Amino acid sequence: MEKQIYKNRKIVLLTKHKKEEAIRPVIEKATGCSLIVESRFDTDKFGTFSRDITRTKSQLETARLKIKEGMLLSGLDIGIASEGSFGSHPFIPAPWNIELVLLFDQRENFELYGIHESGETNFAQLATASFDEAVSFAKKIGFPEHFFIIRPDDSESEQIIKGINNYDWLKEAFVWCGLNSHSGKVFMETDLRAHANPTRMHNIKKATEDLISKLHSFCPNCMAPGFIVSERVKGLPCDLCGLPSDLVLKNISKCRKCSHVLEQLYPNGQFAAAQYCHFCNP
């Protein structure tokens, strides 16, 4: 039986891209809350994936702003927000999606977020003059369930057509962009807004599940939710020479409410393999 920690409480979600489809089933079941959708604010003001509006704040800061707006408009004292980012994997040349789902409970002055990082994304772009090429690209990214954004020339053109979700419209928009293009090429990219991209919607759900698993970690002393590891102390001894390595020696969790501290020694085993040792394997 899951703890219904937000039973009888309404949580506001500010979105105009149907993010409630990913968030509502998870959070309502896990916490007993009712999710209230607030769409009277244009969240695109905080930045768009299609670069027509640049996001000036970090992913976390932007999620905080969305919660603030949502609470202001709804008058509720607890809010949730989702903010995604797309780019390249930090080490390998592959597309990468990071989804963050943030919860803020003003009554308790308590903030907690869930994260999901994934290479499961169809984040992709193509510049082409050939409609045949456009169609094979469309098949590759999962069109029309996943929508397109297209424009003339290149990624910076200000003439943007968003939310293209059928082949007739794609053809029409492609021809229009071709006629309005200096280079003859049309720039196409996956529409990454949640309602336009089921793959992203799935990743938002995963981030919500991560939030719930953190929320459902309770302080053993006072039972406050969100009792998670706040510090990882390095220095696990090398199994060859015994000197400290960069691997984790212990995890420390501290309760934000009662300050109870829990130390977990050797969360990943008692020794580090010599390959992680600065002395044995410099």
Angle between helices 131-141 and 167-179 (to 10 degrees): 140
Closer by beta carbon to Zn ion, 115 or else 262: 262
For the CB of residue 246, give the shortest distance to Zn ion in the complex, in Å. 12
The region of 5-13, 77-85, 201-209, 255-263 touching Zn ion under the rule CB under 5 A is 255-263
Does residue 260 belong to the site contacting Zn ion (CB under 5 A)? yes
Does residue 35 belong to the site contacting Zn ion (CB under 5 A)? no
**In angstroms, rounded to a whole number, what is the distance separating the alpha carbons of residues 274 and 126?**
45
Q: How far is CA 282 from CA 222, 274, 276, in A?
A: 45, 10, 9
Q: How far is CA 78 from CA 107, 135, 147, 259, in A?
A: 8, 45, 32, 23
For the CB of residue 219, give the shortest distance to Zn ion in the complex, in Å. 3
From candidates 12, 238, 247, 248, binder to Zn ion by CB under 5 A: 238
Q: How far is CA 183 from CA 130, 132, 153, 219, in A?
A: 13, 18, 6, 61
For the CB of residue 244, give the shortest distance to Zn ion in the complex, in Å. 9
**In angstroms, rounded to a whole number, what is the distance separating the alpha carbons of residues 83 and 113?**
11
Amino acid at 96: W
Site string for Zn ion, 87-126 (x = CB under 5 A): ----------------------------------------
**In angstroms, rounded to a whole number, what is the distance separating the alpha carbons of residues 202 and 216?**
21
From candidates 76, 115, 135, 224, binder to Zn ion by CB under 5 A: 224
The region of 13-21, 27-35, 229-237, 238-246 touching Zn ion under the rule CB under 5 A is 238-246
The region of 115-123, 128-136, 168-176, 234-242 touching Zn ion under the rule CB under 5 A is 234-242
Q: What is the CA radius of gyration of the chain?
A: 23
| Bond preceding residue 25 cis, omega within 30 of 0 | no
For the CB of residue 91, give the shortest distance to Zn ion in the complex, in Å. 25
Does residue 280 belong to the site contacting Zn ion (CB under 5 A)? yes
Closer by beta carbon to Zn ion, 216 or else 257: 257
Q: How big is the site for Zn ion, counted in residues (CB under 5 A)?
A: 14
Distance between the two ends of the chain, CA-based, in angstroms? 50
Does residue 262 belong to the site contacting Zn ion (CB under 5 A)? no
Does residue 248 belong to the site contacting Zn ion (CB under 5 A)? no
For the CB of residue 282, give the shortest distance to Zn ion in the complex, in Å. 10
Report residue 99 as tokens. Answer: 């989804």
Pairing relation of β-strands 261-265 and 248-254? antiparallel
Amino acid at 136: S
Q: How far is CA 180 from CA 24, 84, 98, 270, in A?
A: 42, 31, 34, 65
For the CB of residue 32, give the shortest distance to Zn ion in the complex, in Å. 21
Site string for Zn ion, 179-218 (x = CB under 5 A): ----------------------------------------
For the CB of residue 236, give the shortest distance to Zn ion in the complex, in Å. 11
β-bridge partners, 115: 100
Interface residue list for Zn ion (CB under 5 A): 219, 221-222, 224, 238, 240-241, 255, 257-258, 260, 277, 279-280
